[in-house]
Amino acid sequence: MMTAVTAPPAKTWLVVGASRGIGHEFARQLLERGDSVYATVRKPGAEHMAAFCSYDDFAFHLHTNTIGPIICAQRLLNSGISIGTTIFISSDSGSTQNFREKEDGFSAYSASKAALNQMARHMAAELKRKKSETVILLLHPGEVMTDMANVDLGWEVEGQMTPAESVSACLKTIETKGLDESGTFWTWDNKVSPTVDITRSGCALINYQPYPW
């Protein structure tokens, strides 16, 4: 007997910061599978040097990594558009439980990601209380070979991936998550990050996997 296989319905995504790196790869893979993508870039058509753009100003880190993403999400949530899932790309550098003390020069970056994690947890808690159907997730994409990672760090970086490898794993992880996981922080390969206590999110403790690092 033949069974008709129907493709999953196409989804619509907004990718903020899609000019290069992980954001660009999300847009590419989502379009390739037939979804619709709205992608934002600051300078359309701009050539990008493969050099790390370093923000040595703490306020600038907060503006870029914390305030910008949160305000953007708040405006979307208040726009009247039905939002299924909002994913904030965070970082293991922002982990409070797994402090990465060797990351000299990353303190402003780490602090901005820790603040992003905490803001997103509050956003998820409030939305849950208000019976919203929107899922809020935080995602650590892994060590990914992008412009951002093209810098001499002074320590060994293990397990680096291409953007394609990271994003295809991230998409699989995102699609296993629902309202029960709203406000939680995951690695690209579907492991729980220690930054957010999974037991408080209503998720079964049995799903807990130790963080790999």
Using CB under 6 A, count the residues that bind ligand NAP: 22
Q: How far is the CB of 48 from ligand NAP (least distance, A)?
A: 5
The site map against ligand NAP for 108-147 (x = CB under 6 A) is --------------------------------xx-xx-xx
Output 128 or 193, the one with its CB closest to ligand NAP: 193
Residue 19 as a binder of ligand NAP (CB under 6 A): the answer is yes
Q: How far is the CB of 9 from ligand NAP (least distance, A)?
A: 27
Q: How far is the CB of 213 from ligand NAP (least distance, A)?
A: 12
The site map against ligand NAP for 41-80 (x = CB under 6 A) is xxx----x---------------x---x------------
The site map against ligand NAP for 78-107 (x = CB under 6 A) is -----------x-x----------------
**How far apart, in whole angstroms, are the C-alpha atoms of residue 167 and residue 14?**
15
Where do contacts with ligand NAP occur on this chain (CB under 6 A)?
17, 19-23, 41-43, 48, 64, 68, 89, 91, 140-141, 143-144, 146-149
